[in-house]
């Protein structure tokens, strides 16, 4: 890429390479996300116009009902969706870069299934509440990542197709274990677990939104600090080593960051498919940048999740599906299209 197509922004000892097209794409995606957010805040049993939504957000309107519904019910749901989408989009970017495979997303290689296992164990065996379920999902997701990482290690190196294949195998085992747990539980517990497994933004409160936001903001600096190193890793391990990159520590740090993002998103909204798979690829196509699309992938994840949420609420015949089912259906179609178009999978 020519120097005219990019510029460096220097902040003391730090420098950031800015690509005008990527910046424009990110700004447009942010505007689309803002528009979707306003529409979602006005969507529901009690519909509100855009002006009523904005007035309700700032407390300047005369409609007390609109203000109460927007601030107490719909805004926590929207904030949860924003940070779940951003977490999944960034996690997918990291996984696809490390595995060098378009299928390297957490829902494909088993990490989401691992997080679901922890939640189901809490629901079925211990009849736990939302907090314990969320913590168990985070812990189980991290544990699954460690297992996959160790099993995929060969000659003290990981990544590539081996990471994807090992992840698929571990995910298949955990999926069968999850089915056994559902059979073991009574009807109420099984229904509760199935509702969680469907992935949903319904009944989300600030108790879900705040941890999702804090988790993303804590992991974000780690991902940004390693962004340049992971860009160099895409050149190959040998080339990265010659450039002074500590390959395995960098890969492990980024895997842990991506798994943490996945576990945070899964704990907040349950398993959400498709977003982590599609967001990085769509962001890369739009930005036409050789860099790993960490920020653009995160913003694209927000747009995809908000659009899927709006679609699930606006389906005909009042078929208000959980968002996890909506993204799963869309993800299946996208995966078939991806497999039919790509010659490298």
Which of the four pLDDT bands, split at 50, 70 and 90, describes residue 335?
confident
Q: Is position 11 within any domain?
A: no
Among 120-124, 238-242, 318-322, 328-332, the minimum mean pLDDT is found in: 318-322
Q: How many CB atoms lie within 10 A of CB 210?
A: 15
DSSP tag of 63: -
Find the radius of gyration of the CA atoms of the chain: 20
Q: What are phi and psi of 33, to 5 degrees?
A: -65, -40
Q: Is position 84 within any domain?
A: yes
Q: Choose between 205 and 32: higher pLDDT.
A: 32
Q: Is position 30 within any domain?
A: yes
**What percent of the chain has a predicted confidence (pLDDT) above 70?**
90
Asked if residues 136 and 116 have their Cβ atoms less than 8 Å apart, the reply is no
Comparing C-alpha atoms, which of 284, 314, 322 is closest to residue 301? Answer: 284
**Alpha-carbon span 306 to 303, nearest angstrom:** 5
**Alpha-carbon span 304 to 119, nearest angstrom:** 25
Query: What tokens does 53 get?
Result: 């939504």
pLDDT tens across 204-250, in order? 889 889 989 999 999 999 998 888 888 888 777 778 888 788 887 88
**Alpha-carbon span 235 to 227, nearest angstrom:** 14
Q: Is position 1 within any domain?
A: no
**Alpha-carbon span 289 to 342, nearest angstrom:** 19
Comparing C-alpha atoms, which of 269, 271, 278 is closest to residue 330? Answer: 278
Burial zone of 153 (CB within 10 Å; 0-12 exposed, 13-18 middle, 19+ buried): middle
Among 81-95, 189-203, 216-230, the minimum mean pLDDT is found in: 189-203
Q: Is position 114 within any domain?
A: yes
Burial zone of 266 (CB within 10 Å; 0-12 exposed, 13-18 middle, 19+ buried): buried
**Is pLDDT at 337 greater than 90 in this prediction?**
no
Q: Cβ contacts of residue 226 below 8 Å, gap of 6+?
A: 250, 253, 254, 257
Q: Tell me how many domains the chain contains.
A: 1
Mean pLDDT, residues 54-83 taken together: 90
**Is pLDDT at 296 greater than 90 in this prediction?**
yes
Q: Is position 120 within any domain?
A: yes
Asked if residues 257 and 223 have their Cβ atoms less than 8 Å apart, the reply is yes
Q: Is position 6 within any domain?
A: no
**Alpha-carbon span 281 to 288, nearest angstrom:** 10
Asked if residues 149 and 158 have their Cβ atoms less than 8 Å apart, the reply is yes
**Alpha-carbon span 345 to 328, nearest angstrom:** 20
236: number of CA atoms within 13 Å, CB side? 3
Asked if residues 334 and 60 have their Cβ atoms less than 8 Å apart, the reply is no
Whether pTM > 0.85 for this model: the answer is yes
Strand partners, 154: 157
Q: Is position 226 within any domain?
A: yes
SS3 category, 78: helix
Residue-range definition of the domain harbouring residue 162: 16-341
Among 21-35, 43-57, 246-260, 308-322, the minimum mean pLDDT is found in: 308-322
pLDDT at residue 157, rounded to an integer: 58
Q: For residue 197, give the CATH number of its domain.
A: 1.10.3470.10
Chain mean position to CA 84: 6
């Amino acid at each position: 890429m020519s120097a005219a197509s990019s510029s460096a922004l220097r902040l003391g000892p730090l420098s950031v390479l800015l690509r005008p097209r990527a910046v424009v794409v990110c700004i447009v995606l942010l505007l689309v996300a803002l528009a979707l957010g306003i529409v979602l805040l006005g969507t529901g049993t009690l519909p509100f116009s855009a002006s009523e939504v904005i007035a309700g957000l700032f407390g300047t309107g005369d409609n007390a009902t609109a203000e109460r519904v927007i601030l107490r019910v719909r805004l926590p749901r929207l904030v949860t969706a924003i940070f779940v989408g951003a977490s999944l989009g960034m996690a997918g970017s990291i996984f696809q870069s490390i595995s060098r495979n378009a299928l390297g997303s957490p829902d494909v290689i088993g990490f989401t299934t691992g997080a679901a296992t922890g939640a189901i164990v809490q629901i079925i065996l211990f009849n736990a509440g939302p907090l314990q379920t969320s913590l168990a999902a985070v812990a189980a997701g991290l544990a699954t990542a460690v297992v996959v990482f160790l099993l995929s290690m060969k000659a003290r190196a990981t990544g590539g197709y081996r990471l994807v294949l090992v992840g698929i195998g571990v995910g298949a085992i955990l999926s069968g274990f999850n089915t056994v747990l559902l059979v073991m539980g009574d009807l109420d517990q099984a229904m509760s677990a199935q509702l969680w497994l469907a992935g949903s933004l319904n009944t989300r409160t600030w108790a879900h939104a705040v941890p999702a936001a804090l988790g993303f903001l804590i992991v974000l600096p780690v991902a940004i600090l390693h962004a340049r190193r992971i860009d160099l890793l895409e050149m190959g391990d040998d080339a990265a080593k010659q450039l002074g990159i500590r390959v395995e520590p960098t890969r492990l740090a980024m895997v842990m960051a991506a798994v943490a993002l996945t576990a945070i998103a899964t704990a907040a909204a349950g398993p959400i498919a498709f977003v982590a798979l599609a967001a990085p690829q769509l962001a890369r196509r739009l930005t036409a940048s050789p860099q790993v699309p960490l920020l653009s992938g995160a913003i694209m994840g927000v747009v995809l999740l908000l659009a899927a949420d709006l679609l699930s609420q606006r389906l005909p015949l009042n078929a208000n599906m959980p968002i996890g089912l909506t993204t799963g259906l869309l993800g299946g179609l996208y995966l078939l299209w991806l497999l039919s178009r790509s010659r490298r999978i």
